[in-house]
Amino acid sequence: MRIGFIGLGIMGKPMVENLLKAGHEIVAFDILQKNVDKVAAMGATTATSPKAVAEQCNIIITMLPNSPHVKEVVMGEAGILQGANEGTILVDMSSIAPLVSQEIEKACRKKGVKMLDAPVSGGEPKAIDGSLSIMVGGEKEVFNQVYEVFMVMGASAVHCGDVGAGNTTKLANQVIVALNIAAVSEAFLLATKAGVDPKRVFEAIKGGLAGSTVMNTKIPMILERNFKPGFKVDLHIKDIGNALETGHKVGAALPLTATVMEMLQVLHADGWGEEDHSAIVKYYEKIVGDLLVK
């Protein structure tokens, strides 16, 4: 199958690699030539614009940073809708505001293009090994048409409802992840300040009710002082911002989310925005004046 893929960054590049390994033909575009060159070396065909991608493909995947980028790529000059044929399927796998997904879908519908919003969870490691969790909004029939493609990139793909439901589900995921990292950081700093080895605390509690995928993934990174990004602080700021904005519009109270947003903003201001979101621990270390691991 020939698939267009736009957005070849930390997540997009390994997703393209897995699609190529599965035998799909990829027509790729990114605004950064170095990213295009990397996927071209893997065997992808390259295009000069989103419009040019759409002219060659009936399924197009976008994996972009935020709402404005997706709107520009889809609806802008030389965008996807300028080159797409009626019946084209657009799968936006970016994490953006649900209401923007719905806005883009309306523009697609006018052109006869079907759209799914299908954000992912799992970060770079799961993008590399093809085990992402994919949350999908849109028509069930269109979801079924793309399901096998999803399963090349992910371990699961769940239809969550109409367009916007995928990104709403992703925002719920991102709220839980951010609050979990903050809770883990707070708890382990408590243990350290009380004189208990955090490595032993981890071994003792990881199999109990407090255990979680977040803790099992992030605590080893924190203990090793390894903040190489699987998911950057600045990207989590974007997602939490979308969650707060959506919460305001639908009347959902998010007081804990707002608190974590302030922590993330401190990290950004201190120059840690490009680090992994496990760097939330640095917020606690800053206000306590001591390190979790010395």
Cβ count within 10 A of residue 196: 13
Q: Are 15 and 73 in contact (CB under 8 A)?
A: no
Cβ count within 10 A of residue 283: 21
Q: Are 219 and 280 in contact (CB under 8 A)?
A: no
Q: Are 150 and 130 in contact (CB under 8 A)?
A: no
Specify whether 170 is catalytic: yes
Catalytic position from the list 114, 170, 218, 282 = 170
Handedness of CA 279, 280, 281, 285 (dihedral sign): positive
Q: Are 283 and 233 in contact (CB under 8 A)?
A: no
Give the SS3 label for residue 113: coil
Which among 128, 96, 122, 158 has a CA at the least distance from the CA of 19? 128
Q: Catalytic positions, please?
A: 170
